[in-house]
Chain A
Amino acid sequence: MSAGVELDHVTVRFGQFTAVDDATLDIKGGEFFSFLGPSGCGKTTILRTVSGFLDPSAGKVRIGGQDMAGIGPNKRPTALIFQNLALFPLMTVSENITYGLRVRGVSRAERMKKAGELLELIALPGQGNKLVSELSGGQKQRVAIARALAVQPKVLLLDEPLSALDLKLRQHMRNELRAIQQQVGITFIYITHDQGEALTMSDRIAVMSDGVIQQVADGKTVYDNPDTPFVASFVGENNPFTGRVVSADATIAVIETAHGPLRGRNPKNLKAGDKAILFVRPESFRLGQGEAQATVAAETLSAAFEGNATHVFLKGSTKKDVTVTVARHGGNRIPAQGERAAIHYDPAMSVILPEGKLARE
């Protein structure tokens, strides 16, 4: 059984500092929902507010439609997986997994049965008598998931659970987490600073910056139609070109940049004279001269071969280089270092947004 989670104008302050600023969200029951943002943006704070370890300074948290004010973490239908897992080192794997049942007074026989089932689910059958310290990182991870699932929460809260694992394992665990979520069918609220994780696993993503939710949408929308410059620059690679809008209609605007006038989509209905940023993703660029107002020419600084593609770095107008991802197929000649190269893009694949804060590199 799953339950939705509503944040209703939730603000969390620590003294003068506002860690979460007026967050309003409606997470549906059974959804895999991610909070994505750089470290320190308030993700853990939101999760602790949902789980009941923090009280919002203002606003309401509702789970399954019920207001959670005054309900402690041990009484909420949520289970939290901690960033450092927080498994109990003095208990065996089975004891860890069934601890939530034990405090509920479930009989020993029942607990053993449940432990067996959950060990099966997390692919660690027969390992219940091991100590936690005898497990590998990935196994500990799975035990933490089983321990949380054992109490049959309606909402599972995961705080960067994969951050301690190495890259290979992390990618493997993504699929596994997603599979477990589909199997148990409960709401997952997942926190990460890794956009790859958020994009691959989530039904929807909330992108956060400095305590403010910037955009809530599915991964494709967040990637293709970012709402703010922060989202555009934080999710995936992007090349920003700042300037002022010189002409605009309902779909396309032209912006005067250090590289000349450039065209892009105009979803925010900017008017001539507005300060704005054009974003073109590295993979949207093609080598060679294109149509006017969609071509950039600059000195080639370097190239990085990555197997399936090559990243070419051109000198930008700011400190940041312009990155072009060149797919590996016959026709492409990688420009030599120092050579002046022209690159072009399809304006429909770019976006112009009102000026705003970019993600820190």
Chain B
Amino acid sequence: MSSRLLVFLIPVIVIAIFWVMAKMERGVAHDPTHKGFFERNGTVLGVTFIVLVAFWTLFLVTLPYLYMVVESFHPKLPPMQRGGPDDVLTLEQYKSFFVTPTDGTWNTNHMSAFVFSLIASVLVTAFNFAFSYPLAYYMAQAGTAQKVRLIMLGLIVPYWVNEILRAFSLRLLLASKGLINQALMGIGITSEPIDFLSIDVGLYVGLSYAYLLVMVFPLYNAIESLDKNQIEAARDLGAPWWKIHRDVVIPYAKPGIASGCTMVFMLAAGSLAAPQFLGGPSTLWFTSIVYDFFFQAFNWPRGAAYAFILLAACIAFVMMMLRLFRVSLGETIK
């Protein structure tokens, strides 16, 4: 049997193990008042639950990823040879990220795109946070209910506009003959138009804007539950506003900050459309490379391997940051 199919046994084995463990546990700690799952819900409803949950976890979540993992450890083969003698397990797809398979030189092209994507994502996250924090603080603590509703609306409504329209309108704004350059030249700040797009300003602005809500809402949630008296107490003890934020608000909102930053970073690093529409001509976003492997070169194994390299790097980076700021993973998803 092919190793590709073998992997699908894993979830079945895991389920079996849990089943056995549950059976054993029931044998050890028998509670006579306890009613079984089917007793509580009825057979029809119980079966429906199980089927739905199983379908969701297996077919929609577990299996596609497992399939991709398996794929990434195989060579690229024409459909005829799949499952044949050449279809062996291999690390060559992962290796190709570091060393170009054709000529054996360092694959600087892909590695630099990778590093650039991660650094740019960090910048986007930082920029996004710097913008979202004051906004979230205002909404959560300072603003009147009516103004907060207005801001919420202002934040949400632009999301009804589709991504392409949003990206291209931003392009129009930032282009050499765009509104901003015209205005800058009009009031005489510059004489030459600034090429915002090729220095990736469009990319940063677009990505930050795209994930603004993802940052604002966790921050808002966290700050909103802070007792106003805490802020006033700090103020009463003589703290200027920035020390109040440093010592009281930010430590309190840390889980929300971590949650927002994690999500924005992950989403930015994995985003595809905004970098393509708004990046400069020489900007190569890592996900574009992955995309090309899947849909231009039809090299699914290599695309999958690259995608997993990105995923692993993002997770590692996030874990490192959480540890650095002493936030536990559990706190960020509260």
Contact = CB atoms under 8 A, between A and B. Distances in A.
A240 interface: no
Nearest to A95: B247
A90 B232 contact: no
B243 A86 contact: no
Interface in B240-271: 240, 243, 247-248, 251-252
B230 interface: yes
A86 B232 contact: yes
Nearest to A104: B238
A78 B243 CA distance: 19
Contacts of B239: 74, 99-100, 103
Interface string B218-243: 00000000010110111111111001
B237 A147 contact: yes
Residue with the greatest number of chain B CB neighbours at <10 A, chosen from A83, A86, A148: A86
A82 B237 CA distance: 12
B237 A86 contact: no
Nearest to A144: B233
Contact of B236 (A73, A83, A84): A73
Contacts of B248: 88
Contacts of B240: 74, 103
Contacts of A87: 233
Contacts of B243: 103
Interface in A83-140: 83-84, 86-88, 90, 99-100, 102-104
Contacts of B252: 90
A298 B238 CA distance: 61
Contacts, number: 60
B227 A100 contact: no
B235 A86 contact: no
B247 A99 contact: yes
Nearest to A53: B232
Specify the main secondary structure of chain A where it touches its partner. mixed
Nearest to A76: B236
A232 interface: no
A51 interface: yes
A86 B230 contact: yes
A42 to B, nearest CB: 18
A151 interface: yes
A351 interface: no
Contact of B237 (A53, A83, A90, A103): A103
A79 interface: yes
A83 B229 CA distance: 9
Contacts of B251: 90
Given A75-B238, A103-B237, A103-B238, 12 more contacts: A51-B236, A53-B236, A74-B235, A78-B236, A82-B232, A82-B233, A87-B233, A90-B251, A90-B252, A100-B237, A103-B240, A151-B237
7 interchain residue pairs of minimum CB distance: A100-B237, A86-B229, A86-B233, A103-B239, A82-B229, A74-B238, A80-B236
22 contacts: A53-B232, A73-B235, A73-B236, A74-B235, A74-B237, A74-B238, A74-B240, A79-B237, A80-B232, A83-B229, A86-B227, A88-B233, A88-B234, A88-B247, A90-B251, A90-B252, A100-B237, A100-B238, A103-B238, A103-B240, A104-B238, A151-B237
